[in-house]
Amino acid sequence: MSLDLIETVTGDISRGKNLLLRLTTADRLRQDNIDIVKTMADKGYHLIIITTNQPSEVLKKNYESAGIDVARLYFIDAITSYAIGTAPPGEQNVRFIGGPSNLTDLGIAITGALNEFSDKRPCILFDSVSTMLIYLPSATISKFIHNISNRLRLIDTPGIFLAVGKGLDPMMISNLSTFMDDIIQSDVV
């Protein structure tokens, strides 16, 4: 577990810096995701995990093996249906989206989840901004993140965006930094 990351995230959130961009490495992306989810879940937040990188089924297993209670998590899964063609039946606490490029459905799902958990201290985790580049142009991603961050700011809800630092060009990082309250760089980005 990265103590620096945990301290920075908790410190920022307690100081009212709700919108955070975590720039990490590909090797540490999975572990950073688990660390953030564990920390925020321990602090009583109800996490809404938007995944465009790993299927929610894979993430759930990762969290369970890290001792996280997955009942307190809600997934907006934009990758499973896209990869296998259909949404798996009988999944609890998961909303499947047709694909990461379907931003309209993704936006609707995020708004719906924020409304549903508005009284349970919701917190958004976006995994990951860099993976979105497989499916969408960088300008479209910047606009989408801007839109989401504005919504979160309006309802005073924390949002943590994960990205592989070296996968984003300086212009995109500069754009994203204008929407965020803090950028948490991994030491080895």
Partner 1 sequence: MIMGINVVNRIFNWFRDPENKKFTLVLLVLFCLFLEETIHLYWGIEVAYTHVFYILLVLAAIWYHERAVFLAIVLGVMHIVVSYEVLGELTWPPLLRAMMFILVTAIVAVISSTKDKYQQELVESKKVIEANHGILIAYITESANRLRHPIEIVHDNLRELVKQVEEEGPPGDLKIRLQLQVKNTEQIVENLQELNQAIVTDNNEIPEAYREFISR
- Contact footprint for partner 1 (CB under 8 A): 26-27, 30, 53-55, 57-58, 61, 79-80, 82-84, 130-131, 133-135, 137-138, 164, 166-169, 171-172
In the complex with partner 1, the residue whose CB is nearer, 100 or 158, is 100
In the complex with partner 1, the residue whose CB is nearer, 56 or 157, is 56
Residue 3 corresponds to which tokens in the numbers above?
A: 């103590």
In the complex with partner 1, the residue whose CB is nearer, 57 or 187, is 57
Assess contact for 74 and 110: CB atoms under 8 A.
no
Q: In the bound complex, what is the minimum distance in angstroms from residue 12's beta carbon to partner 1?
A: 26
Q: In the bound complex, what is the minimum distance in angstroms from residue 90's beta carbon to partner 1?
A: 15
Q: How far apart are CA 92 and CA 19, in angstroms?
A: 27
Q: In the bound complex, what is the minimum distance in angstroms from residue 61's beta carbon to partner 1?
A: 7
Q: In the bound complex, what is the minimum distance in angstroms from residue 157's beta carbon to partner 1?
A: 28
Q: In the bound complex, what is the minimum distance in angstroms from residue 79's beta carbon to partner 1?
A: 6
Planar angle of CA 159, 165, 170, nearest 5 degrees: 100
Q: What is the DSSP string of 85-143?
A: SSPPTT-TTEEE-S-TT-HHHHHHHHHHHHHHTTTS-EEEEEE-HHHHTTTS-HHHHHH
Planar angle of CA 63, 141, 88, nearest 5 degrees: 40
Give 166's contacts (C-beta < 8 A, 6+ positions apart).
25, 189
In the complex with partner 1, the residue whose CB is nearer, 22 or 46, is 22
In the complex with partner 1, the residue whose CB is nearer, 134 or 155, is 134
CA 78 to chain centre: 12
Q: Which residue has the tokens 């296998």?
A: 84
